[in-house]
Structure 1
Amino acid sequence: MKNILLLILVIFFGLSYQTQAQTEVKEYFSLSEAQDFALKNSYSVKGTDYDLQVARKKVWETIADGLPQIDFSADYTNNLKLSKSPLPVEFANVIRAMSGEPTSDEPMFVSFAQQYSGSAGITVNQKIFDGSYIVGTMAAKVYLQLSKDQKEKSEIEIKDAVAQAYYTVLVAKENYKTIKDNLEINEKLLKEIEAYYENGFREELDVDQIRLNRNNAKTNLSDAKRAIRTALIVLKFTMGIDVDKQIELTNTLASLVDPIRSVIPAISTYDVSNHIDYKIMSTQLKAQDLLIKNEQAAYLPNISAFYTYNKNTSTDYSNVLKSEVPWFNSSILGFKVSMPIFSAGKRRSRVKQQKIEYLNLENNLLMTEQNLKKDLSISFSNLLNAQEKYENDSEGSKIAKRIYDRTRIKFNEGISTSTELSENEKQYIDAHAAYINSTLMLLNSKIAFDKALSKL
């Protein structure tokens, strides 16, 4: 009975798992949908979003430093062994006389403390003037802007990465389809040649050559299948989706390539200040200017006010909160002013260091501007070259396919040799590989050009 129940459970869970696997819902993504999904779920974008949240909290932390600061303190003390102090002999004899004791030349040791003591107080501190605080509040807002810029840059990078991964999957699928078609041709051709050979119309060399072509096509097909699987894993990881989840891409390769083939790139309206790298460098320059101001603020005085209210007691009762125990109040109101006088040139040196760093960042900003212009010019040329190469390789792949088809017909008619057929097949495979590479290059060149134009 136990074995029967175990068998039923195995069959039940096996069928449930199979049903679940068969009914697993795939998610479908166009390129823009994949990019939007990545902007919300990508690991790198999430990281910059957390940094932005920290920056927002940092702004309030800096502002709160200039608001009233209230602290409470309390303590309770049990003097396990009271300390004693000697009284002068004259005072000691007076006490002895009052107590009816004989006088003596020895000092008397008495304790001025009581067994238990307690205190509680509140202190309020308020900045009135602090140059570093004023600069700090401005710096916190610049830091927030820098975090926003970094988040924007991360979003651009993830859209770029998703696009490249998306293209790679589509190109890998196109390559797989072509290789699969070629394998089917070789399978069919091999059967025909083997039939001819069995009837004495073909040599064994022809059979071996076609079988070798078939085996090479099988190997290429396995490589192409693994390439699709790898490309999909990279895409899902880049999007921030579970790599075990099933997804389908809705864009076709032609729908993405055709608009790029006909587009004429233009850079006449380019404004380098809109590029995210330029924005980041500009924000860093603002932050450095505030660092200079912060060092200069060290020359200014700091003014603050404070108020303290305190209650304390000392008693022989262990419970200091009893009504019989007296508590004594005290309060203090004051102002504090501190101002640097002489630092042997230390502060001046720190200001000069920050000014030199500002000049360095200015130089980096100019370098970034020129580098962005250089990247745009290069991406423009690369796009034009990719368009031209794609057209040539596309036509070359079609020509090589026609040559291969004609040679295969001639081979079936006994006009062409198996060696010539094998060479033309290899020529077609190489031409197709060049076409696949140029397709991917064209797509990536377009995305690089859009990125350089700040249109990604």
Structure 2
Amino acid sequence: MNLKEWKLVKWGIAVCAVCCSTLLYAQQDTAHEHAFTLQQALDYARKNNMQVKNALIDIQIQQQVNREVTGRAYPQISASGSLVYNAQLPVSLVPAEFFGGQPGTFEKLAFGVKWGATGGVSLNQLLFDGQVFIGLKARNTLMEFATTKEAITEEAIRANITKIYYQLVAGKTQIDLLDANISLLDKLQHDTKIMFDNGFAEQLDIDKLTVQIANLQTEKISALNQIQNGMLGLKVLMGMPVKDALILIDTITDEQIKDGLLDAGNFDYSQRKDFQYADLGVKLGEFDVRRYKLAKLPTLSLNGYYNKNAQRNKFDFLGKGDWFGISAITLQLQIPLFTGFSANARIQQANLSLQQSINQREALKNDIDNEITTAKNNFSTAVSTLDYQKKNMQLAETVFNQTKKKFEVGTGSNTEIIQAQTDMKAAQTNYINALYNAIIARVDYIKATGKL
């Protein structure tokens, strides 16, 4: 094999290696395809959206906090042990006359042993503590507080996903209208060229149609780009990998948008998640006040321990020798007599914070009333506008078709048909905008009435 052939072989091996690695990477990084209804998209988001995931973790954190509070009411049992080596024993002075020595003199004596060991268990049981008692009673409310916070987060995600989903669905209608217009103008341009070839039209007429078609093609490209970007935004909001393909199954019609919504006669503030959250905040504030009040009461606890100790001159605790036991049981009552007015200050702070929570709840009621009224007005206006723009679009299409027939039989001008097409396109654009606004207004009204 000559040098040239060897180089070709090496290049072939390199190319194969690159192709194989690319194929392997592509297999490992394969995108998935999802065809979702709105409900399926919402269910997917609940499992994969990071904000919802973190809110669910907050619930788990609160569960562990509750376990911690509960643990304070259980017996606290611990074991301990110690080993002491006295490198130098303490020396005491003892009168020498105790040992027959000269009165007034002292002997130096070292008391103790080289080694000491102690082991035992202790128990502490809280019998009464007002703050712990309130903490135990507040556990369910704290769990509801965390759960409602998660529901608020999820509701906001649901609202945004619903808006974007149906706006993208409506975007398909916009593309269909643009395609229909392009098709109409393509045929009209073809017919005009035939008329031009036969001397019944001018080159200017063809050029005008060419400009119109180019404008529609440009608008279609822009609309498709907006839909593509909107789809990316929807994936991110759902927590879906951007590389995955997403197909929207549901459709949207004018009748679906208007379907039995403006009936909020049975509305109650408790249907709103944010009001539930505010109401639970008031309840927690009340628990805080009670907690600080009960902190002024005595606390009662039961303590006990059992220990054994041994002393040796050598390290032989596992051998023969005595272990001496010691035990005690203590009932401890602690009565707060004077705390420098700090207890009363904490109670007043809790009362003021509670009043703030109550005020916020009352303000929220007014905000909810305003939100519902505004959303209802916006939705009524959006539906009326949608109906009007749809009729206007249908009328513009009729005018265009009639103008086109006049042009085809030679009784109409190219200027008239261009103008009719421009008016029809403007009416279609107004209809699409009205459809977008109606979708947003519908979702806002459902969310305002707590039905999302």
TM-score, normalised via structure 2 length: 0.86
Tell me which amino acid in the other structure corresponds to 1:394: K
Query: Which of 427, 442, 445 matches 1:446?
Result: 442
Alignment of 1:74-93 (within 5 A): 74-79=81-86, 81-88=87-94, 90-91=95-96
Distance across 2 between alignment mates of 1:240 and 1:153 = 18
**What is the RMSD of the two structures over their aligned residues, measured on CA atoms?**
3.2
Check conservation: 1:132, 1:294, Cα contact below 8 A: yes
**Residue 24 of structure 1, CA deviation:** 6.8
Partner residue, 1:28: 35
Moved more, 419-428 or 303-312: 419-428
Distance across 1 between alignment mates of 2:100 and 2:198 = 144
Distance across 2 between alignment mates of 1:217 and 1:158 = 35
Distance across 1 between alignment mates of 2:25 and 2:190 = 40
Check conservation: 2:272, 2:450, Cα contact below 8 A: yes
Moved more, 132-141 or 173-182: 173-182
Residues 375 and 247 (structure 1 numbering): CA distance in 2 closer, same or farther, change over 3 Å? same
Distance across 1 between alignment mates of 2:103 and 2:203 = 137
Check conservation: 2:124, 2:304, Cα contact below 8 A: yes
Distance across 2 between alignment mates of 1:262 and 1:399 = 25
Partner residue, 1:275: 272
**Residue 409 of structure 1, CA deviation:** 5.2
Distance across 1 between alignment mates of 2:167 and 2:370 = 27
Q: Describe the superposition over 1:411-444 as per-residue Cα deviations: whole angstroms up to 9, x where unpaired.
A: 6667666655554444333322221121122222
Moved more, 65-74 or 50-59: 50-59
Distance across 2 between alignment mates of 1:77 and 1:421 = 107
Query: Which of 348, 356, 364 matches 1:360?
Result: 356
**Residue 212 of structure 1, CA deviation:** 2.7
Partner residue, 2:5: none
SS at match of 1:355: helix
Query: Which of 259, 280, 284 matches 1:287?
Result: 284
The answer to whether residue 45 in structure 2 is matched with residue 38 in structure 1 is yes
Partner residue, 2:431: 435
SS at match of 2:295: helix
Tell me which amino acid in the other structure corresponds to 1:151: E
Tell me which amino acid in the other structure corresponds to 1:367: A
Moved more, 414-423 or 212-221: 414-423
Partner residue, 2:397: 401
Task: Calculate percent identity across the aligned residue pairs.
Answer: 22
Distance across 1 between alignment mates of 2:180 and 2:289 = 68
Distance across 2 between alignment mates of 1:15 and 1:132 = 64
Q: Describe the superposition over 1:302-353 as per-residue Cα deviations: whole angstroms up to 9, x where unpaired.
A: 0101111122233332x45331354322112112111111123222222122
Distance across 2 between alignment mates of 1:105 and 1:264 = 109
Partner residue, 1:228: 227
Partner residue, 1:324: 320
The answer for unaligned runs of 5 or more in structure 1 is 98-102
SS at match of 2:368: helix
**Residue 391 of structure 1, CA deviation:** 0.4
Alignment of 1:242-253 (within 5 A): 242-253=241-252
Moved more, 208-217 or 363-372: 208-217
Distance across 2 between alignment mates of 1:297 and 1:147 = 25
Q: Describe the superposition over 1:112-136 as per-residue Cα deviations: whole angstroms up to 9, x where unpaired.
A: 3443332222110000111111111
SS at match of 1:67: coil
The answer to whether residue 238 in structure 2 is matched with residue 239 in structure 1 is yes
TM-score, normalised via structure 1 length: 0.86
Partner residue, 1:63: 70
Moved more, 34-43 or 375-384: 34-43
Partner residue, 1:100: none
Check conservation: 2:83, 2:116, Cα contact below 8 A: yes
Distance across 2 between alignment mates of 1:324 and 1:14 = 75
Q: Describe the superposition over 1:15-43 as per-residue Cα deviations: whole angstroms up to 9, x where unpaired.
A: 8899999x976322112222233233332
The count of aligned residue pairs is: 444
Distance across 1 between alignment mates of 2:20 and 2:195 = 53
Distance across 1 between alignment mates of 2:31 and 2:242 = 14
The answer for unaligned runs of 5 or more in structure 2 is 1-8
Check conservation: 1:272, 1:373, Cα contact below 8 A: no
The answer to whether residue 120 in structure 2 is matched with residue 121 in structure 1 is yes
Residues 12 and 130 (structure 1 numbering): CA distance in 2 closer, same or farther, change over 3 Å? closer
SS at match of 1:121: strand
The answer to whether residue 80 in structure 2 is matched with residue 73 in structure 1 is yes
Distance across 2 between alignment mates of 1:178 and 1:109 = 112
